[in-house]
Amino acid sequence: MRFVTWLLTYAAGLAVAAWLLDGIWFEGAENGQAELQDKIVPLLLVALILGLVSAFIEPVIKLLSLPFIILTLGFLLLVINALMLMLTASLADAFDLGFHVDGFWNALVGAVIVTVVGWGVRVALPDGD
């Protein structure tokens, strides 16, 4: 159950980021039922890639850059999150999933949106303990 919640949390964040920002998008139909059919599987697969990147690569990057994170009072974490979103887009492109992030600033704002939406979803869901 935790895996499904984790996956849907990332998917919700990515969907909101793609909806709000012109620089983050999924290829496919633009509206209606066709949009849902074209984009639901790629959305879930990109959410899985983002989750794996966040689970395995991001902690190593944070550990290696810890002195700089402290020096910048944590602002480097925003850059790291943006780079992880750009890495996710590159991996999604390698798997031909049709997910694109156009530039660093879109990735930065998108990473903030994914984080805030993920936090909101986790707060809204009942505690699984």
Six-digit token pair at 98? 């049709």
Q: Read out DSSP for 88-99?
A: HHHHHHHTT--E
Note the pLDDT of residue 50. 97
9-56 pLDDT, tens per residue? 999 999 999 999 999 999 988 888 888 888 999 999 999 999 999 999
Q: Is residue 71 part of a domain?
A: yes
Total number of domains in the chain:
1
Q: pLDDT-derived band of residue 92, with 50, 70 and 90 as boundaries?
A: very high
For the full predicted model, state whether its pTM sits above 0.95: no
Q: Is residue 96 part of a domain?
A: yes
Note the pLDDT of residue 67. 97
Q: Average pLDDT in the 97-124 region?
A: 95
* Residue 109, C-beta contacts closer than 8 angstroms, at least 6 positions apart: 17, 21
Q: Average pLDDT in the 77-81 region?
A: 97
Q: Is residue 129 part of a domain?
A: no
Six-digit token pair at 85? 């979103």
Cα–Cα distance for residue pair 50/114, rounded to 1 Å = 10
Cα–Cα distance for residue pair 65/80, rounded to 1 Å = 9
Q: Is residue 86 part of a domain?
A: yes
Q: Is residue 24 part of a domain?
A: yes
For the chain, the average pLDDT equals 93
What's the domain range around 109?
2-124
Ramachandran bin of 27, using left for φ above 0, alpha for ψ from -120 to 50, beta for the remaining angles? beta
